[in-house]
Amino acid sequence: MRWLTHPRQLQRALLRRAAVEYARNAWPVAPGAYAVGDRFMCDRIGCPIHTCHPAFEDWQHAASANPGQVATQWSRRGHSVLFPTGAAFDVIEAPASLGEPAVARLAPSDRGPVAVTPTGRWMYLVLPGDGLRPELAERLDVVLHSEGSWVPAPPTRYPEGLVRWRISPAAVGWKVPYTYRIQRALVEAQGELFGHRAPLRRPAHVAGVARARRA
């Protein structure tokens, strides 16, 4: 038996295993740039992006939910794992000040997968197709990732640490909840946090700017 003793080999194996598991449950994944020290590298010639980003220019077509294809993609490099949004699910990304208390407000039947980045961003996976409630859409620190966007998936590693599941897909039977249930919990958490104080709002002249993460 061949043992993986080098940390980089172990991380590569963990990323590949996770990517294949997502694909087996019909969640498409896209190869992301691979971590080298405190930056992310890809094979794009002259790529200026040093943070987490897709490994390929045409990353949406490189995304797959075929376990065999995914296993092959991740056997070549220790790619970070990206979730393309807008198909299997959308993702609502919020700061910890909203994301953490919102979990406690959800009934067990309303809970879905929730991931947390090492920098404290909470990512709620929700059924796709709906926009944000006005109370959330006006905030600078709440982002809806839908068609054409992506988010990092566990166990992608950042210089600050790993992206981790707060509520794993297996814990909720790989079910994704309705977005209104999650948004209601986030709005309630906002109300408790701010009381009568208004949260920081998005200026009107940039309200229509797309906030999807794109490469």
Q: Yes or no: say if 40 and 50 are a contact pair by the CB < 8 Å rule.
A: yes
Q: Tell me phi and psi for residue 51, to 5 degrees.
A: -90, 180
Domain boundary among 51, 82, 113: 82
pLDDT at position 6: 60
Residues 90 and 158 in one domain: yes
pLDDT at position 196: 43
Residues 46 and 92 in one domain: no
Domain boundary among 39, 62, 82: 82
**Which has the closest alpha carbon to 22: 58, 57, 74?**
74
Residues 207 and 127 in one domain: yes
Residues 98 and 193 in one domain: yes
The pTM of this model reads 0.87
Residues 192 and 108 in one domain: yes
pLDDT at position 8: 73
Q: Yes or no: say if 190 and 135 are a contact pair by the CB < 8 Å rule.
A: yes
Range of the domain at 41: 1-82
pLDDT tens, position by position, for the chain (215 residues)? 444 456 777 888 999 999 999 999 999 999 999 888 888 988 788 888 989 999 998 999 999 999 999 999 999 888 999 999 999 999 999 999 999 999 999 999 999 999 999 999 999 999 999 999 999 999 999 999 999 999 999 999 999 999 999 999 999 999 999 999 999 999 999 988 776 444 545 443 333 334 445 44
Q: Which amino acid is at 23?
A: A
Residues 99 and 74 in one domain: no
Residues 56 and 93 in one domain: no
Residues 62 and 114 in one domain: no
Mean pLDDT across the chain, nearest whole number? Answer: 88
Residues 116 and 71 in one domain: no
Number of structural domains, the chain?
Answer: 2
In angstroms, the CA 79 to CA 72 distance is 11
Nearest 5°: CA angle at 195, between 192 and 201? 100
Domain boundary among 82, 112, 133: 82
Q: Is the dihedral of CA 71, 36, 163, 127 positive or negative?
A: negative
Residues 49 and 66 in one domain: yes
Write the CB contacts of 44 (distance below 8 Å, at least 6 apart in sequence).
55, 56, 57
Classify strands 161-162 and 114-116 as parallel, antiparallel or unpaired.
Answer: unpaired
Residue with token string 């909840």:
177
In 6-24, which positions are buried (b, 16+ CB within 10 angstroms) versus exposed (e)?
eeeeebbebbbebbbbbbe
Residues 128 and 182 in one domain: yes
Residues 74 and 94 in one domain: no
